[in-house]
Amino acid sequence: MQQGTQFLPISKEDMRQRGWDELDFVLVMGDAYVDHPSFGPAIIGRILEAEGYRVGVISQPDYTTCESFKVLGKPRYGFFIGGGNVDSMVAHYSVAKVRRKVDEYTPGGVAGKRPDRSATVYTQLAKQAYPDLPVILGGLEASLRRFAHYDYWMDTVLPSIAETSGADIISFGMGEHQTVEIARRLAAGEKASEIRDVEGTCYMTDFAHLPAKYLECAGFNKVSTDKVAYAKACRIQMDNQDSVTGQIIVQKQEHGYLVQNPPAKPLTRRELDRVAALPYTRTWHPSYDALGGVPAIEEVEFSIIHNRGCYGGCNFCAITLHQGRRVTSRSVDSVVEEGELLTKQPGFKGYIHDVGGPTANFRLPSCAKQMTEGMCQGGKKCLAPGPCPHLIIDHTEYLNMLRRLRALPGVKKVFIRSGIRYDYLTWDKDETFFKELVEHHVSGQLKVAPEHCAPNTLKYMGKPPVEVFNKFSKRFYELTKKAGKKQYLVPYLMSSHPGSTLEDAVYLAEYLYKHNIRPEQVQDFYPTPGTVSTCMFYTGLDPYTLKPVFVEKSPEGKALQRALLQYYEPRNAEKVVKALHKTHREDLIPLLVPGYKPKVSAQARPVTGRKSAQNAKAAGRPVQGRFVPNHGKGSGKNSGRPTFAPKTKRK
């Protein structure tokens, strides 16, 4: 905890200790109150405090009654509400829609302390408690649901959260600029209904009060029944998330019109430094001590965030619609000062666990052009399928920062645990950073995200070809060996992404076998609101071309794809074999499932005799208990895919 720092009040008693009988704003959050810069509500609270406002916190209120929103009294100007660092539905349910047993953002990891769709529920309760007070709804959950959107958990399209929640203003993206301006104008006596020109905000209005100039996308009724219209609307929304080129977007909802103003300008380096220097206590509120604290802080307590935004533009990532594609970063001095602060924190043992952000090794904008002309539209990527000719590739400043952190008294190691863009690193002709990464900044395992290897799937993911990963992997192990270390890559992989067929999943399993990769953690594609991939999942269309995209939605098909990622697990044997039969890749059974013996039914018993054996072989049935593959369409030789039969028995 920084010297002299106090938590924001959470009770009337806290207010009395400060000599306050009234608050200016109440901050409501779906997470436990953790006053750390990795937690969005903590930043908003400290920003308001720095502007001179009296701010109190209601964390995970009782969502069965509006009385829980009155515990700090009626604020003078209104509520700022956020659903939590993680979307409440993702926090509550697995991709299989199974209720999770742990919520890491709740004291003790206890599940069920906030409602489903918490941003909506909290806003409605605040409105019930004080109907005359404005509610500004922000955070990830609101940001990604600001347009009419496909809801995976209900398997339907829902209207904008601005309409369903009743919020006066939606603050989307990183909300510092919006928060300061809205608070100033409310405190000056302006009504929320009159605050209609703040960048980075949305609001509901009627037809008569629409702005003079705007770009319209298909409305809720249209996109909920017409998938082509939904895909076209998605493209309009994605193409207007740049602060330079973004236009006002209007979308009709059930009972009014949503107006999205252009995105707020990213914070400058000086502004980011100011946010990082705010007086956070950097820990959970002491009222949670008896409950065991808040598990979510363990990953970030001794980590440093040095940047925002990501121009990687992966189609399954929500950063484009939330943080944006322009990268901004803190100064090296600011990051080093935070490193010095960490060395003085209770429990620090000499290890800075991470120096990263959305993408750890991005410090600069992708190109000079974007600063004046904005990011490229139409689905163009800076990194995929290959590097843009205008891409700035430079690790110099990041490396300098890491060197200064390593030199701090009391620091033993500085690790990088958030995502490294291995493609960006591979394309850097200067290997100095790569070498020092291997020598100093890997804690035994380096997590990277190739996600897949099949060309078709990677195309729909917006990822580079697997050959780039192969080149990176080869060089990583060469440098690791040269450094005399035992370090490993941990690849993140995803099954059932739109575009991924069962044949693609088999191709991936074959690739993993060849490269002796056994991923411990894999995931099914999770269709969360606000991504291009979710649009493809719902519509079956590429929003940039309107061409059909294969989408695996059946439980069996998804289970087979997922099992192939961990083909080596005995529990997956039956599914793997079934997938190989379905794709006519029986030639892989001895490799992926060695020793597998199919269960023989009465209808498919082993046959003997020359003639019977010939008939069985032609039909692809077992002969003497051994499956004889029928090499038809899609099998190894005819499929155009290599088979990786080892010359010696695999150990």
- The per-residue pLDDT for range 288-304, each reduced to its tens digit, is 999 999 999 998 999 99
Q: How many percent of the chain have pLDDT more than 70?
A: 91
**Residue 491: pLDDT above 70?**
yes
Are 226 and 218 spatial neighbours (Cβ–Cβ below 8 Å)? yes
Residues 6 or more apart whose Cβ sits within 8 Å of residue 189: none
Q: Is 317 annotated as a binding residue?
A: yes
Q: Is 388 annotated as a binding residue?
A: no
Domains and CATH numbers, the chain: 12-203 (3.40.50.280), 302-440 (3.30.750.210), 444-651 (3.30.750.200)
Q: For residue 306, what pLDDT is reported?
A: 96
Across the beta sheet with 249-252, what order do the strands follow? 55-59, 25-29, 78-82, 135-138, 169-171, 201-205, 257-260, 249-252, 215-216
Q: What pTM was computed for the model? A: 0.89
Bridge-partner residues for 260, per DSSP? 202, 249
- The per-residue pLDDT for range 212-225, each reduced to its tens digit, is 999 999 999 999 99
**In Å, what is the CA distance from 449 to each residue of 22, 71, 421, 469, 558?**
49, 45, 8, 9, 20
Q: For residue 162, what pLDDT is reported?
A: 97
H helix or E strand, kind and range, residue 475: helix 466-482
- The per-residue pLDDT for range 110-163, each reduced to its tens digit, is 999 999 999 999 999 999 999 999 999 999 999 999 999 999 999 999 999 999
- The per-residue pLDDT for range 318-366, each reduced to its tens digit, is 888 888 889 999 999 999 999 999 999 999 999 999 999 999 999 999 9
Mean pLDDT in residue range 614-643: 37
Mean pLDDT in residue range 562-573: 95
Q: Is 314 annotated as a binding residue?
A: yes
Q: Which segments of 38-152 are extended strands (E)? A: 55-59, 78-82, 135-138, 149-151
Query: In 3D, which of 224, 234, 253, 235 has the Cα closest to residue 157?
Result: 224
Q: Give the largest Cα separation in the chain, rounded.
A: 97
Ramachandran bin of 188, using left for φ above 0, alpha for ψ from -120 to 50, beta for the remaining angles? alpha
Dist CA 411 CA 174 (whole Å): 31
- The per-residue pLDDT for range 57-108, each reduced to its tens digit, is 999 999 999 999 999 999 999 999 999 999 999 999 999 999 999 999 999 9
Q: For residue 599, what pLDDT is reported?
A: 64
For the chain, what is the radius of gyration of the CA atoms? 27
**In Å, what is the CA distance from 177 to each residue of 198, 308, 321, 329, 433?**
9, 15, 17, 16, 34
Of the two residues 299 and 640, the one the predictor is more confident about is: 299
Q: Which pair of tokens denotes residue 122? A: 């909290």
Neighbours of 405 (CB within 10 A): 22
Task: Outline where 8-115 has alpha helix (H).
Answer: 12-17, 40-50, 88-92
Half-sphere exposure of 32 (CA within 13 A, CB side): 26
